[in-house]
Structure formats: C-alpha cells, structure tokens
Amino acid sequence: MKHKKKTIIGAGVALAAIAAIAIGVSHHLAERDGHAGNAPLVAAKQQQLATLKQLDKQMLAPGEAAWNPATRAVTLRDSGREGVGLFIRHTFFHIAGDIGFDVATLSALLEPTTRGEPVILDDPQSFIFKPLHGDVVMPDSALTALFNDYLIDYPDTQLRDLTITSSDDGTLRVTGQTQKIPGLWLDFEMAGPVRLVDHHLFVYEPTTIDIAKIPAKGLLKVIRLQLSNLVQIDTEGAELSGDAIVLDLNHSLPPPTQDVHVADMTLDAAGLHLSFTSDHRPAWPEPVIDRDSYVLLEGGDLKTFRALITHVRMQLVAAGGGKLDTSLYDYRQQIVGGHFQATRAGELIAFMAPLAPTASAPAQGQHP
C-alpha cells in the first residue's frame, strides 16, 4: 500500500513538473512572439521594405503627375497611373518591319485602351501612343515600307512595288505600278510637294504624273478627271482625295493607334521630319544606366512576357553598345537573344540583341 502511495505521489510530482515546464515554455513563446518585430533581423528586413517603398516615390519622373496623373487608388497590382511614360533617345524605333522612325529625342505616353488595365507590350492594340514632345525622321525606306507592307498590301490593290524618294527641295517622288484594268499593270511615276493639315494629315499633291511614260497630269485635267478617278486606295488611314494622297497619321500606321499633334513637318533628302508637341513637355528623367542611345519605360504599369510590372522603370539598350535599333513588334526576340540586369531598387535593364533583318510588318487588320 505504501508502495502504491509513493508511486502516485511520484507521478503527481512529475505531472506538476511537466505542467510547470509547459507553462514556462508557453510564456516564453508568447513573450518571444510579442517581441518578434523587434528582433534585429526582422527589423532590418522591415526597414529595407520601407526604404524600397520610398524609392517608388523618389524614382518618379520629374513632374510626372502633370502628364501621367494618378487616377486611381494605388494597390499592389496597380500604380494608379494613367499610362506608361516612354522616353526615346538617339534610337531607330521600328513599329513593325521597316516601318519606323529615326528618333532624336521623343517623350510619349502609352495609354491603355481600357482604363485601369496595364499597357500590354505584346498587344499594340491594348494602348494608344500619344507623343508629348520630340523630333523624329521617317526615312524613305520606312515610308516605302509603310505603303508596300501595310497600306496597299491587300487583295485587289491597284498599286504595287512602290519606291519613295525625297529630295532637299521638298519634292517627294513615287514610282511603282498601277492597274485600273485587272491584270494590266503599268509603270507610273509622280512627283510633288507635301504639306501638313490639321496637325495630323499628311497631304501629298503630285504636280507631275506619268503613266507608262505618258504624261497623265495634263490629260486628266483636259478630260476633267482627278487622280482619285484613276487609282483607288482602299485602306484605313489613307485615301485619294481629288489630286491628293492623304494620310491620317493617327490611323495610317500599324497599331497602336496614334494620337498626335504635329507642330511642323518638312521634307528633305533624309526623309520626312516630324516635330511633335502637346500640352506637356516632360523633364527628361535620369536613365537607369548612362547610355547615349536607349528607350526608357518610366512609371505606370506594364505587362511584358508573363510579368506585370507596377511602377515600371525599364531601360532598353543595345547589348553591343552604340545606337539602339529596336522594334515594338519584335522586341521579344531581341530580349531573348540578349540579357537582363536589375538594380537593388527593382529597375530593369534589357541588353537587346541586334534586330533580325527578317522582321516584317503585318498586313492590314493583323497584329502580333
């Protein structure tokens, strides 16, 4: 009996000891949890996060609120900005194929067609291109490609194989072939000046027109016909109006849709010079790395490949140095052939491989 009593007492002491230990451990864990935020490694990480959040504000382009305002509440997946800023310096910027511009400097806003959505770089129809300020040149090769690869590239076209050349006296010369009777293609040549109308209409008025080496301008006048009676262009953004070819610069280029205000347009041997203005002339932001030729995507939300980048700050440069030659429609291949770097602040630098010479423009109604 005494032995059983000792056993019971011993077990009770053991249980009491275990309970005391458990209470002590629980109390210790509770204290530790209560002070976890004060642990040096946790505090350091929280400080790092706070610093990064401040960087988002510090890295805004100067005066960005004026030309890329915050229009929505900021969330983890939404910067709240109206669009994505674009800054191009000393770059040949192709839209598609050989259609593009030699850019001195150009600032622009890429504005999503659906408010609140990101700019989807792989879908040019997801945004509107709004030049803010800058100067570009569209060389003869790009203007030729615009017609051959886009504007007249459709079934039953009446024009083909155009070659466009410009001269220092402001004359634009166009040669190629035309058919008014199906299957009967005739060589033609026309020349004349260009002028700007309503800050977005490119108007070409030939003063001479030769068809099959026969002067046709005077003949058309005698029989009271206009150029538009002889040849038709059935495409968005381009039309024959009387004796003039009219390009609407907001709709005559491959997507994205443009929203331009051209302050000045001149023509010389280098090509078609366009000067863009708007209500805003953004101060030029500092690039991520010091290069003379680059494209900088600055502020707002950008979807590229499978990644959504908020408060984007991404610079594109030529991997081999020198002048960047890049394309909106073919940028993926250049990135895949190059490499990325990132800064501690989350900025990205894409070192772009050379642009493949086989890049081509889409036909009307198509996009990548």
DSSP 3-state percent helix, strand, coil across the chain (nearest 5): 25, 40, 40
| pLDDT attached to residue 101 | 98
| pLDDT attached to residue 180 | 73
Q: How far apart are CA 177 and CA 242, in angstroms?
A: 20
- Give pLDDT tens digits along the chain (368 positions): 555 545 555 555 455 555 555 555 455 545 555 555 568 888 877 887 777 666 666 666 678 889 999 888 888 888 889 999 999 999 999 999 999 999 999 999 999 999 999 999 999 999 999 999 999 999 999 999 999 999 988 888 888 999 999 999 999 999 999 887 777 888 889 999 999 999 999 999 999 888 877 665 554 443 333 455 445 676 788 888 877 889 999 999 999 999 999 999 999 999 999 999 999 999 999 999 999 999 999 999 999 999 999 999 999 999 999 999 999 999 999 999 999 999 988 899 999 999 988 544 455 544 44
| pLDDT attached to residue 164 | 97
Burial of 76 (0-12, 13-18, 19+ CB in 10 A): exposed
157 contact partners, CB below 8 Å, separation of at least 6: 234
Residue owning tokens 């056993």 = 7
Residue owning tokens 């035309």 = 178
Structure tokens at 325: 């030659």
| pLDDT attached to residue 37 | 54
| pLDDT attached to residue 84 | 96
Answer for the pair 91, 119: CB distance below 8 angstroms, yes or no: no
Answer for the pair 265, 274: CB distance below 8 angstroms, yes or no: yes
Report the phi/psi class of residue 204: left, alpha or beta, with left for phi > 0 and alpha for psi in -120 to 50: beta
Torsion angle defined by CA atoms of residues 57, 106, 310 and 308, in that order, rounded to the nearest 10 degrees: -170
Residue owning tokens 């408010």 = 115
Answer for the pair 91, 324: CB distance below 8 angstroms, yes or no: yes
CA proximity to 253, closest of 166, 358, 138 = 138
| pLDDT attached to residue 224 | 37
Q: How far apart are CA 154 and CA 364, in angstroms?
A: 7
Domain coordinates of the chain in residue numbers?
A: 64-136+278-352, 141-253
For residue 160, CA distances in Å to 87, 150, 178 come to 35, 11, 7
| pLDDT attached to residue 31 | 56
Burial of 245 (0-12, 13-18, 19+ CB in 10 A): buried
Residue type for 320, please? Answer: G
| pLDDT attached to residue 42 | 83
Structure tokens at 71: 């229009």
DSSP 151: I
| pLDDT attached to residue 34 | 52
Three-state DSSP state, 210:
strand
Q: How far apart are CA 56 and CA 5, in angstroms?
A: 72
| pLDDT attached to residue 219 | 44
| pLDDT attached to residue 223 | 35
Tell me the torsion sign for CA atoms 206, 208, 212, 216: positive
For residue 19, CA distances in Å to 305, 315, 355 come to 58, 62, 73
| pLDDT attached to residue 220 | 46
Q: Measured at the alpha carbon of residue 201, what is the angle toward residues 200 and 206, in degrees to the nearest 5?
A: 150
Answer for the pair 152, 160: CB distance below 8 angstroms, yes or no: yes
DSSP 93: E
Three-state DSSP state, 258:
strand
